[in-house]
Amino acid sequence: MSHRPLIGINTDLRVSAKGRTACSVIPSGYYEALLTANALPVMIPPLIRESELMPILEKLDGVVLTGGDDLDPRKMGLSPHPSVKMIPERRELADRLLCKLVQQQKIPTLGIGLGMQELNVVCGGGLFVHLPEDLPRCIPHYDPHGGAHRHTVVMQPKTRLAEIYGPGEIRVNSYHHQGIRKLAPNFRTAAIAPDGLIEAYEGKEPGWWVVGVQWHPENEGHISLDMQLIEAFVAAAAKATAAPVLAKVG
């Protein structure tokens, strides 16, 4: 690949506390996986003004929406729950704006973990707040003690993910207690867990390469199965560089 696409990665936010200043952070797996796939990572701080975010997006070839804690259930019209660990309000505002703009501008996008949930919500979908209660017969999707957990997912036929991973099932890491209850109308299911939970989706629109996965390919990004997804995303971002210049948002 002669052109190395610029890929934006949204950062997590650590708010100021006693003895600690506020900072933006990002797990190294995201940019290491992109570098391995021959892309150049660019960190996007939590910007909440379109006038500040759009000039950055205009220079990018793709965006990775990263994982993290949880969205505020109240902003989705849902009741609070003791299991929910909310991301800082500024990150949620910034992430929602970023999700809105990548959709409007059809920027190649890979949503991971929280990122895939956020994009689904912003595009009109909904979430389960706490899977063990909302979906009592579901399989375990996380280790309550914080350790590693894995389960299988099944690729849906005739989807982009089936092309990337091949048909059938693969084993993925799993760290989430929330999940997709309602899929946004511009997405289709790409992979499901054995209990029927949507574990991945992709865009229906031919002009927008977008994939959301509940698992974290960047955590083990040098394993060939995980790199297949990262490499497919980077290739799509490089290809989209030849597309027309981004339209102005009114």
pLDDT tens figures, 121-165: 999 999 988 787 878 888 878 778 778 888 999 999 999 999 999
Residue 15, pLDDT above cutoff 50: yes
Q: Check: CB of residue 232 under 8 Å from CB of residue 166.
A: no
Q: Check: CB of residue 144 under 8 Å from CB of residue 96.
A: no
* Domain ranges, ordered by start, for the chain: 6-242
Q: Is the pTM of this model over 0.85?
A: yes
Which residue has 């993910």 as its token pair? Answer: 161
Fold of 6-242: Rossmann fold (3.40.50)
Among the listed residues 7, 98, 14, the one whose alpha carbon sits nearest the alpha carbon of residue 48: 98
Percent of the chain whose predicted confidence (pLDDT) is above 90 = 71
pLDDT tens figures, 44-90: 999 999 999 999 999 999 999 999 999 999 998 888 888 889 999 99
